[in-house]
Structure 1
Amino acid sequence: MATVHVNPTRMELTRLKKKLVTAIRGHKLLKDKRDELMRRFLDLVRENKALREKVEQGIAAANRNFVLARSVMSDEVLNVALMAPKQEVTLEMETQNVMSVEIPKYHYKTRTSDANDIYSYGYAFTSGDLDSAVKSLSDLLPDMLRLAECEKACQLLAAEIEKTRRRVNALEHVMIPEMQDSIRYITMKLDENERSTQIRLMKVKDMMLEQAHHYKEKMQ
Structure 2
Amino acid sequence: MATAHVNPTRMELTRLKKKLVVARRGHKLLKDKRDELMRQFLELVRQNKTLREEVEKGILEANKKFVLARAVTTDEVLNVALMAPKQEVYLEIGSRNVMSVDIPVFHYKTKTPDANDIYSYGFAFTSSDLDDSVKYLSDILPDMLKLAEIEKSCQLLAAEIEKTRRRVNALEHVMIPQMEESIKFIVMKLDENERSSQVRLMKVKDMMLEQAHHYSEHDHVYGDVM
Q: How does the TM-score come out when normalised to structure 2?
A: 0.95
Q: Any unmatched runs of 5+ in structure 1?
A: none
In the alignment, the residues of structure 2 paired with residue 90 and residue 135 of structure 1 have an alpha-carbon distance, to the nearest angstrom, of 18
Aligned with 1:103: secondary structure?
strand
Task: State the one-letter code of the partner of 2:123.
Answer: Y
In the alignment, the residues of structure 1 paired with residue 152 and residue 16 of structure 2 have an alpha-carbon distance, to the nearest angstrom, of 41
Structure 1 residues 4 and 159: CA distance shift in structure 2, 3 A? farther
Q: Deviations over 1:126-184 (max 9, x none)?
A: 11111111111011111000100111111111111111111111111111000000000
Return the offset for 1:108: 0.6
Task: State the one-letter code of the partner of 2:69.
Answer: A
Q: Deviations over 1:40-98 (max 9, x none)?
A: 11111111111111100100000001011111111111111111100111111011111
Give the structure 2 partner of residue 129 of structure 1: 129
Tell me which structure has the larger Cα radius of gyration. Answer: 2
Give the structure 2 partner of residue 65 of structure 1: 65
Aligned with 1:122: secondary structure?
coil
In the alignment, the residues of structure 2 paired with residue 212 and residue 4 of structure 1 have an alpha-carbon distance, to the nearest angstrom, of 45
Give the structure 1 partner of residue 219 of structure 2: 219
Provide the aligned C-alpha RMSD in A: 1.0
State percent identity of aligned pairs: 79
Task: State the one-letter code of the partner of 2:81.
Answer: A
Aligned with 2:5: secondary structure?
coil
Give the structure 1 partner of residue 223 of structure 2: none
In the alignment, the residues of structure 1 paired with residue 104 and residue 93 of structure 2 have an alpha-carbon distance, to the nearest angstrom, of 7
Return the offset for 1:19: 0.5
Task: State the one-letter code of the partner of 1:188.
Answer: M
In the alignment, the residues of structure 1 paired with residue 149 and residue 209 of structure 2 have an alpha-carbon distance, to the nearest angstrom, of 86
Give the structure 2 partner of residue 160 of structure 1: 160
Aligned with 1:91: secondary structure?
strand
Give the structure 2 partner of residue 202 of structure 1: 202
Aligned with 2:83: secondary structure?
coil
Task: State the one-letter code of the partner of 1:96.
Answer: R
Aligned with 1:82: secondary structure?
helix
Task: State the one-letter code of the partner of 1:71.
Answer: A
Q: Is the 8 A contact 1:20 1:180 kept in 2?
A: yes
Task: State the one-letter code of the partner of 1:76.
Answer: E
Aligned with 2:193: secondary structure?
helix
Task: State the one-letter code of the partner of 1:105.
Answer: V
Moved over 3 A (4+): 1-4
Task: State the one-letter code of the partner of 1:104.
Answer: P
Q: Is the 8 A contact 1:65 1:132 kept in 2?
A: yes
Q: Is the 8 A contact 2:13 2:183 kept in 1?
A: yes
Task: State the one-letter code of the partner of 2:206.
Answer: D
In the alignment, the residues of structure 1 paired with residue 123 and residue 30 of structure 2 have an alpha-carbon distance, to the nearest angstrom, of 61
In the alignment, the residues of structure 2 paired with residue 149 and residue 12 of structure 1 have an alpha-carbon distance, to the nearest angstrom, of 50
In the alignment, the residues of structure 2 paired with residue 181 and residue 108 of structure 1 have an alpha-carbon distance, to the nearest angstrom, of 57
Return the offset for 1:23: 0.6
Q: Any unmatched runs of 5+ in structure 2?
A: 221-226
Give the structure 2 partner of residue 100 of structure 1: 100
In the alignment, the residues of structure 2 paired with residue 38 and residue 3 of structure 1 have an alpha-carbon distance, to the nearest angstrom, of 36
Q: Is the 8 A contact 2:3 2:185 kept in 1?
A: no
Give the structure 1 partner of residue 224 of structure 2: none
Residues 126-135 or 57-66, more deviating: 126-135
Q: Is the 8 A contact 2:96 2:102 kept in 1?
A: yes
